Structure 1
Amino acid sequence: MRGFWPKANFRFSGYRFIVPVFTAFLALALSGCESAPPRAFPDLTFAHLSPINFKVGRIDISTRYIPPLKEPNVEHLAPVTPYGAIRRWGEHRLRAIGGDHVANLIILDASIRAVPLKTTSGIKGLFLREQSLRYEGRASFLLEIRDSRGRQRAFLTVRSKYDGTAVEGTSIADREKIWFKIVDEMMKELNAQIQAGLPQHFGAYLAGN
């Protein structure tokens, strides 16, 4: 018994020393795992554009595109998703001023896919920093007018695509910039196509006509 107690005291004192050290190490490790603060991106807004006034009772926005939420699709990781940008465009630009008809904006595609590119292999490839991924942005939607009986009276489908590439080892911050650029450029093209097609496809349903 006499030889037992010193041994027990030694273990206990050692344990008391280890606990603070382990706690400090754990706190440091957890602090390193904390997510970085979100990066700020310009707000993709279309409120500065004149509204498109339709002689309809309401504007409905829906989607046929369901994001896979897995590779090779990455649109759900973008700071502004193509789906969100198209929906916001519809909310900002399309306006119902009254009537029996309904205007539908139906999202058909709102994707960004990562496509691997061929890079140099072997020792030579170790000294090169090549484009390793192409991000393919695709966006399209249908804008239509239907009467009270559900018959389609006017429609226009617009499509846009824009690609961006990333070099090997591109950081998440730089990838987000690429994705944001893709969405921004696609929305500019979609908006331009709708604006150009309004008189021909929706003339009878526009306010002032």
Structure 2
Amino acid sequence: MRARHLRLAVALAAALAATACQNAPPVQKLPPISFADRQPFRLDVAELEILSDYQPPGRLPNIEHLMPVSPGSAIERWAQDRLRPMGQRGSGSARVVIRDARVVEVPLRTDTSLSGAFKKEQELRYDATLQVAVEILDARHMTVADVVATAQRSRTIPEGLTVNERDRIQYEITDGLARDIDRQMEQLIRNYLGRWLIR
């Protein structure tokens, strides 16, 4: 009798687990944020270094550590895709420094009255900032030239979004920030780091 109860309990647990799996939305596969389709800058330096001065707090209100692609990781990919050390001089380096890569979640005031239950309001705002420097260093590792780009994005979020919908919005924020930086760097590098560009 006890064995029969055990089998029933196991079968019930399996059925509940299967139901939970069926009800969970499929995890969406977001494309990588890439700049491989853009012509890279061929730099007359021996190496490329990527580092971050920004340390994510890892707790609310900051959410960059929870995002499907953080702004910092998108810029690391940007640097790898867009900056190529060609080393004709055999010395010197280019350094990409992530100075800021924060995304902050700001709760918005919503109508808590009875009539508010029948409205779909904006409940959150994401405020994002990305600041990136590209530096040229000589053989003594001294900075001889640099450019800095800054991008900011802000977006409100309505009530009742699914996890996948929130992930998509956060992904779009990161993608937008990184492409803003790319557009700025396109001009800054050509205008101010031209002597290190190999044509």
Fold equivalence (TM over 0.5): yes
Question: What's the CA shift for 1:40?
Answer: 1.3
Partner of 1:142: 133
For residues 147 and 189 of structure 1, the distance between their equivalents in structure 2, rounded to whole angstroms, comes to 28
AA aligned to 1:84 is S
- Any stretches of 5+ residues in structure 1 without a counterpart? 1-12
Structure showing greater radius of gyration is: 1
Among residues 80, 103, 106, which one is paired with 2:97 in the alignment?
106
For residues 128 and 46 of structure 1, the distance between their equivalents in structure 2, rounded to whole angstroms, comes to 41
Partner of 1:18: 5
For residues 138 and 186 of structure 2, the distance between their equivalents in structure 1, rounded to whole angstroms, comes to 22
Question: What's the CA shift for 1:37?
Answer: 4.3
Partner of 2:68: 79
For residues 172 and 112 of structure 1, the distance between their equivalents in structure 2, rounded to whole angstroms, comes to 17
Question: What's the CA shift for 1:25?
Answer: 2.0
AA aligned to 1:206 is L
Distance change in 2, residues 1:130/1:36 (3 Å) = closer
Mapping 1:57-136, distance limit 5 Å: 57-98=46-87, 99=89, 100-136=91-127
Among residues 159, 162, 165, which one is paired with 2:153 in the alignment?
162
How many matched pairs?
195
Name segments (4+ residues, structure 1) moved above 4 Å. Answer: 32-37
Helix, strand or coil for the counterpart of 1:85? helix
- Any stretches of 5+ residues in structure 2 without a counterpart? none
Structure having greater relative contact order (Cα 8 Å, sep ≥ 6) = 2
CA contact under 8 A between 2:27 and 2:164: conserved in structure 1?
A: no
Q: TM-score, normalised by structure 2?
A: 0.91
Question: What's the CA shift for 1:33?
Answer: 5.4
Partner of 1:171: 162
CA contact under 8 A between 2:52 and 2:98: conserved in structure 1?
A: yes
Question: What's the CA shift for 1:97?
Answer: 1.1
Question: What's the CA shift for 1:142?
Answer: 1.1
For residues 73 and 146 of structure 1, the distance between their equivalents in structure 2, rounded to whole angstroms, comes to 33
Mapping 1:187-206, distance limit 5 Å: 187-206=178-197
For residues 134 and 32 of structure 2, the distance between their equivalents in structure 1, rounded to whole angstroms, comes to 24
- Cα shift readout 1:58-101 (whole Å, capped 9, x = no counterpart): 01011111222221222222222211110000001101111221
For residues 20 and 52 of structure 2, the distance between their equivalents in structure 1, rounded to whole angstroms, comes to 36
Identity %: 30
- Cα shift readout 1:156-207 (whole Å, capped 9, x = no counterpart): 1111111222111211111011001101111111001101112322021111
Mapping 1:5-44, distance limit 5 Å: 13=1, 15-32=2-19, 37-44=26-33
Q: Does 1:153 align with 2:144?
A: yes
RMSD: 1.7
For residues 70 and 21 of structure 1, the distance between their equivalents in structure 2, rounded to whole angstroms, comes to 43
For residues 150 and 20 of structure 1, the distance between their equivalents in structure 2, rounded to whole angstroms, comes to 69
Helix, strand or coil for the counterpart of 2:115? helix
Q: Does 1:181 align with 2:172?
A: yes
